[in-house]
Structure 1
Amino acid sequence: MTTPPAVADGLTRGELLELPGTKGGYITVRFWINALGEVVRAKIVGVDGNEDDEEKLLAALRQVRFLPARIGHAAVPSELEMELRVVRAAGL
């Protein structure tokens, strides 16, 4: 891969998942991303201090958009694992 995928939308500062009503905490997520930068699958692979409903988290994670990975000039599907902080609002 020449260029890895990068967050385009849906995460504040690239690492904060805003989720109203959350209890907060950290999660580790594996994303499967298509060549358009859309999340086709998300799986929570680790939790540290977060007790939110997994389905609520996954619904929010599927809304994240990426600049797709590239090999040369061609956009390609990819996988990416990230640690994210779950917050009520980005200012908190």
Structure 2
Amino acid sequence: MEKVPIKTVMAILVDNRKETAERVQKILTAWGCLIKTRLGLHDGVLDNCSDAGLIILELVGSSEQHKELCEKLNKMPGVKADYMELSFDS
């Protein structure tokens, strides 16, 4: 029987980017081997950048690792993270 592929996607909301982004980056760097794809989004151009941002990650690794990363991010003030697993049923 063929194994059904599971994709894990994490979304991270970052408020007060100027003060929070560096700490978020340190956590993501420490867990970098779990991150297959990363997309960072925020509104703004040149001197008019928004203070909030959204990071979307495609993760590899175990469910336990995903949970631990999510918990570490959620302990930070101004950060909200959550993840989901997606798959096709066979």
TM-score by length of 1: 0.29
Higher helix share: 2
Which has the larger strand fraction? 1
The structure number with the bigger radius of gyration is 2
